[in-house]
Structure 1
Amino acid sequence: MTLTASPSGSTVAEAEAFLAAHPEIEAFDIVLHDSNGIGRGKIIRRHELLSLYKSGRHLPISILGLDICGEDVHETGLIWDQGDGDLRAWPIPGTLVPLHGTVPPRGELFMSMYDLEGAKMTSDPRHALQAQVDALAAEGLYPAGAFELEFFLLSNQRGADGKVQPAADVLDGRASHKTEVYSVDHLHGMLPLFNDIYAGAAKAGIKAETMISEYAPGQYELTLHYREDVMQAADDLIRLKRIVRMQARLHGVTACFMAKPNEVYAGSGMHFHVSMRDASGRNVFVEAAEGKWNETILHALGGLRATMGESMLVFAPHANSWRRFASQSYAPVSPTWGVNNRSVALRIPAGDIKARRIEHRPAGVDANPYLVAATVLAGIRHGLKNKIDPGPETTGNGYEGGEDAPAIPVDWRMAIEAAKNSAFLKEALGEDMHRTFTAIKAAEYARVMRTVSEVDYDLYLYTV
C-alpha cells in the first residue's frame, strides 16, 4: 500500500520552507533513536529531502534491535524473525533544524519508525513516550517538564595511570584537577566551547540556560528551559547531547556522557523535572497553602516510589550506570521523597508555589530520555489511579535510614531481572518496547560478563 500522507503529521511544505530559508545547507543528518538513545540513520544530500517528506525512507527493522555496540540482538525478535525487512521512517514535525559549525553546512532531522501501512512501530522509544502522553490526555492531564544535563569534558589522552582525565581549558590550555564546584572563574576557561554549545542550541530552537561547574573535576551541568510538552523536553535533551558532543570534538576535547567515568568522584545524572496541568492549564500539583501538599502530588510520589525498583533498568541501563549509586554521592540509593533535599530520589524543589513540580533524580545521563519520561509518567498514572500513599517525607540525610522504602535492585543483573518480570514496566513501555529493551540489556550484560577486564588481571593474575 502506498501512503498518501505522512503518519507522523509531517508535511512537504515544512521541508520546502526550510530549504528556501537555508540555501546554504548541503546535507542533512536524519536520526532515529534506538532503545539506548543512540542516533541511528544516514546523511542525505539536499536534493533528497523533499522525497523523504513525500514518501518517508526505508530503514531495516533491525535498526531498533541493536545493542550499545550496534550489533544485532536476535532475542528482540526484530532481526531474522522479521526477515530483517524494511519499515519506513518518517520525519517528526518541527525537528528539522540547522546545525552550528559544520563545514559544509548541514541540517538535522529526527525520524520515527512506522510499518509500511503507516502503523506505529512500537519498539521505537518515541512511540512509547507518546503512548503515555496520550493516556494522560485521556485522563484530562497534560505533563510538562525539563531535563538537566550533566556531563564531563575530558582530555583526548588518558593519564599515566590509564584513567581518563579532565580536559584542559580550551581558552588557554590551563589544566585543573580540582573539583571546582560552582566556580565561575573555572567556567571562563571553557567559554569558547560553551559559546558554541549555546549557539548550536539556539539554532536548534533549544533554550539552553544555566551552566554550572559541577561536583567533580571536568564535570559540568547545563539546564534546559521548562517545556509544556514532555516530548519536546526529551527531544531537547537528546539533541543537546549531540550538540555538546560535536562542539567538544571541534574544540579538541571529549564530551563524556557515561554515568560514572571516575570512581573517585560524583557521577552524572539526568534529573527529570515534571508537573501536570489540567485542561484549563492549572498545575494540579500546586497546594492550596504552601507546604500543605495536595493528594495529587502525594499520590504521584507514591506511584513513583512503588514502581521505582522494577523500573531501575530504565534509569540505570548500563553496567557503568550502577557505579553512580553510592552513599553521599548526590545519587539516590533508595526510593525516598523529600522537600528541598538533594539526598532523596524524589525531590519537591523549593521555589514559587505556582511552579510546583517533582524532580525525579535516579536517572543517569546515559539513560534514554524518551524511556525515562515514559516510565515516570506511567509511575505517576499508577499512583493517581491507585491513590498510593508515598509514606512520610524524608528529612535530613536521605542516605541514612530508608528501611521502610520499597526495595530496589542493588546491581545491573538484579535490575534486568526485575524489569523482565515487571507487569508495570511492560505496560509503561508497551509490550514490544519492553521486550526489545530488556532483551538488549540482557545481551549487553552477557557481553560484559564474558569480557576479561583489566580489573580481572589486577585482582587475580598474580594472586590466585
Structure 2
Amino acid sequence: MAETSPTGAAPEEAEAFLAAHPGIEAVDILLHDSNGVGRGKIIRRHELLALYRQGRHLPISILGLDIVGEDVHETGLIWDAGDADMRAWPVPGTLAALHGTVPARAELFLSQHHLDGAPMLSDPRHALSAQVAAMAELGLHPTAAFELEFFLLEPERDGGGRLQPARDVLDGRRSGRTEVYSVDHLIGMQPLFADVYAAAGLAGITVETLISEYAPGQYELTLRHRDDVVRAADDLVRLKRIVRAQARAHGVLACFMAKPFADQAGSGMHLHLGLRDGEGRNALAEAPGAGWTDALRHAIGGVLATMAESMLVFAPHANSWRRFARGSYAPVSPSWGANNRSVAVRVPAGEVDARRIEHRLSGVDANPYLVAAAVLAGMRKGLVERLDPGPETTGDAYRDGRGADMPRDWAAAIDAATNSTFLGQALGEEMRRTLVAVKAAEHARVARAVPDVDYELYLHRV
C-alpha cells in the first residue's frame, strides 16, 4: 500500500523515468551525512517504484559516521538508538541517469525521516531547508550557485611518495607549471571534461565555465544559479561525484582535499547567494548610482558576526586549515569588500540586478548543505538585527591579519561550535550536536596518528 511521502515524491516520477530509460538496470540511492558523503545502496530497477511508494528503511547510524565510515557513538545515533531504522524517501527531481555506466544505472537522492514522517534532523538537507523557510518568513527567497575547485592527479604517487598532477588524458603531457587561465592548457583534458558535461546534462544540472586554476593540475567548474538553494547544494554534491567518476574512467584521480599540496593554492567552494522579494526583485540591488543598500550591508554584517562560530562548517577537517594563508586566495579574516578576492565576503562586480554576495571561506571539502545553511542563517540574523558590517576593505585584506575572535585551528573551531548558540539555531541543535561529535572523533583520530614530519624532525635528533 502506497504511503504519502513527506518529501512530496510521487510514484509517477519513477514510472515516467523507467519508461523513458528502458535500459536502466539499477539505481544508486544516496543519503548525505554530516561530511557531505553520499551513503546508501544500489537497488535494482524493479525496486524503484516501491521506494517511491513506501520509502526505504535505512539505519539511523548512517548519519552518525565519521569521514571514513566509522561509528561515532557520541552522536547518540548508534547504540543509544539501538541502531534503529529510519525511513528514507526520494527527493523529487533528483532521479537522473548516470553517464557511461555499464550496465546502465541511475542516481537518486534521499532524505531521512522518522517512521512517522517527521524530518530526521541530523540530515543536513533538513538543516538547509529550515533556513530557506526561515528566510521566507521575512518575505525573501534565496538564489544560489557554488563554484567547484579541485585537482586532477596521477593515481600513483612518485618515487618520493608525493602526489603528482595528472598527465593530459589527450596525449599524456604533464605540466608542472601553474598555467592559470591558460585555455590551451585545458585542451589536454577536453575528453575528460566532455564526459563531465555530458554527465551533468543527464543529471539536469547546468555546468558552465571551465578554468585552469592557480596550481598545477587544479581546475574550476562553475554552476548556473538556482532559484532553489537546496537544489544548488544538490548540484554541487552531484557534480563532485560526476567529476570523480569521469576522472576515474579516464585513468586519473579527482582530488577534493582543501590543501593537497603544501606549496600550492588550495581548493575552495565559493558560494554565491542572492535574495529575491515576493515580486521577484533583487532585494540586495541598489538604485542606479546609489550606494550599497541597507539590506546588503546588514546581510554581510550578519555573515561576518557569525563567521567565527561557523568555522567548523566552513573548514571541517584537519587539512581544511592548511588552506588559510596570506596571499593564497583563501581569506584569513572576517572582512568584506567589492570586487576584491582577498576578503571573506565579496560583492562581485557586475550588473546591479545580479547583486549578490560571494562567500569565499569554505574549502571544497565542506558540506554544501551545511555551508549554505550557516551563511543563510547569518544573513538572516544580520537583516533582523540590522548588523553593521563595518568598513569595506579596499586593497589587501591580508594586511590586517586574522580577526581576534576567529578560531586559530581545527580544535578551536570545534570548541567554538560546541558552545555556539548561533550554530544550534543555524543547523538545528540536533545537527549541530551530530557535527560536533563527528568532528571531535575525527580530531582525536588525527591527534593519535604520528605524521611523517615527526620522523623527519625528531627521529635522529632527540
Q: Normalised by the shorter chain, which TM-score bucket?
A: over 0.9
- Structure 1 match to 2:170: 171
Deviations 1:36-73 (A, max 9, x none): 00000000000110111111110000000000010000
1:394 matches 2:393: yes
Q: Compute the displacement of 1:86 (Å).
A: 0.4
Counterpart of 1:113? 112
1:285 aligned partner: 284
Q: Displaced runs of 4+ in structure 1, greater than 2 A? A: none
Amino acid across the alignment from 1:12:
P
Q: Deviations over 1:283-337 (max 9, x none)?
A: 1100113460010000001000000001000000000000000000000000100
Partner of 1:189, secondary structure, is: helix
Equivalent residue letter for 2:204 = G
Alignment of 1:208-287 (within 5 A): 208-287=207-286
| Deviations 1:425-457, CA, capped at 9 Å, x for gaps | 011000100000000000000000001121211
- Which residue does 1:147 correspond to in 2? 146
Paired residue for 1:431?
429
CA–CA distance in structure 1, aligned partners of residues 244 and 400 of structure 2:
39
Q: CA deviation at 1:139?
A: 1.4
SS at match of 2:306: helix
Aligned residues: CA RMSD? 1.0
Structure 2 segments unaligned to the other structure (5+ residues): none
- The letter of the residue matching 1:248 is A
Conservation of the 8 A alpha-carbon contact between 1:170 and 1:192: yes
For residue 366 of structure 1, what is the aligned residue in structure 2? 365
* SS of alignment partner, residue 400 of structure 1: helix
Change (3 A) 1:291 1:336: farther
Question: Does the 8 A contact of 1:140 with 1:278 survive in 2?
Answer: yes
Higher mean displacement: 100-109 or 285-294: 285-294
C-alpha contact (below 8 Å) 1:154/1:218 kept by paired residues: yes
2:2–2:53 CA contact under 8 A, matched in 1: no
Cα distance in structure 2, aligned partners of 1:381 and 1:278: 14
The DSSP-based 3-state class of the residue aligned with 1:190 is: helix
The equivalent of 1:26 in structure 2 is 25
Whole-Å Cα distance in 1 between the matches of residues 428 and 385 of structure 2? Answer: 20
**CA–CA distance in structure 2, aligned partners of residues 88 and 199 of structure 1:** 33
Shift of 1:401: 1.6
TM-score normalised by the chain length of structure 2: 0.99
CA distance in 1, matches of 2:207, 2:297: 30
How many pairs align?
462
Partner of 2:443: 445
1:183-202 → structure 2 map (5 Å cutoff): 183-202=182-201
User: By how many angstroms is 1:411 displaced?
Assistant: 0.5
1:3-42 → structure 2 map (5 Å cutoff): 4-42=3-41
Contact 1:3/1:118 (<8 A) preserved = no
1:54 and 2:53 correspond: yes
**In 1, Cα distance between equivalents of 2:383 and 2:460:** 57
In structure 2, what is the Cα distance between the partners aligned to 1:68 and 1:153? 21
Structure 1 letter corresponding to 2:311: M
The residue that corresponds to 2:452 in the other structure is 454
Encode CA deviations 1:253-272: one digit per residue, 9 max, x unaligned: 00000000000100000000
Q: State the alpha-carbon separation in 2 of the partners of residues 451 and 4 from structure 1.
A: 48
The answer as to whether partners of 1:269 and 1:361 remain within 8 angstroms in 2 is yes
Q: Does 1:161 align with 2:156?
A: no
Instruction: Give me the whole-angstrom Cα distance separating, in 2, the residues matched to 1:418 and 1:328.
Output: 26
Are the structure 2 counterparts of residues 3 and 388 from structure 1 closer, same or farther at C-alpha, using a change threshold of 3 Å?
farther
User: Distance in 2 between the 1:106 and 1:3 partners?
Assistant: 25
C-alpha distance in 2, partners of 1:407/1:301?
Answer: 17
CA distance in 2, matches of 1:134, 1:28: 30
Q: Are 2:105 and 1:99 aligned?
A: no
Q: Are the aligned partners of 1:305 and 1:406 in contact in 2 as well (CA < 8 Å)? A: no
TM-score, normalisation: structure 1: 0.98
* Residue 227 (structure 1) shift: 0.8
Amino acid of the structure 1 residue aligned with 2:179? E
Letter in 1 for 2:207: A
Deviation of the 1:3 alpha carbon:
7.3
Partner Cα separation in structure 2 for residue 116 and residue 329 of structure 1: 47
Q: Which residue of 2 aligns with 1:345?
A: 344
Q: Distance in 2 between matches of 1:328 and 1:407?
A: 21
Deviations 1:63-84 (A, max 9, x none): 0000001000000000111010
Q: Which amino acid aligns with 1:86?
A: D
Q: What one-letter code is carried by the residue in structure 2 that aligns with 1:410?
A: R
- Structure 1's 273 and 434: CA in aligned 2 closer, same or farther, altered over 3 A? same
Quote the Cα distance in structure 2 between the aligned partners of 1:72 and 1:294.
47
Gaps (5+ residues) in structure 1? none
Displacement after TM superposition at 1:163 (Å): 1.2
Could you tell me which of 409, 413, 416 is aligned with 2:414?
416
**Does residue 351 of structure 2 align to residue 384 of structure 1?**
no
| Contact 1:336–1:402 under 8 Å retained in 2 | no
User: 2: CA distance between counterparts of 1:395 and 1:25?
Assistant: 54
Cα deviation, residue 458, structure 1: 1.2
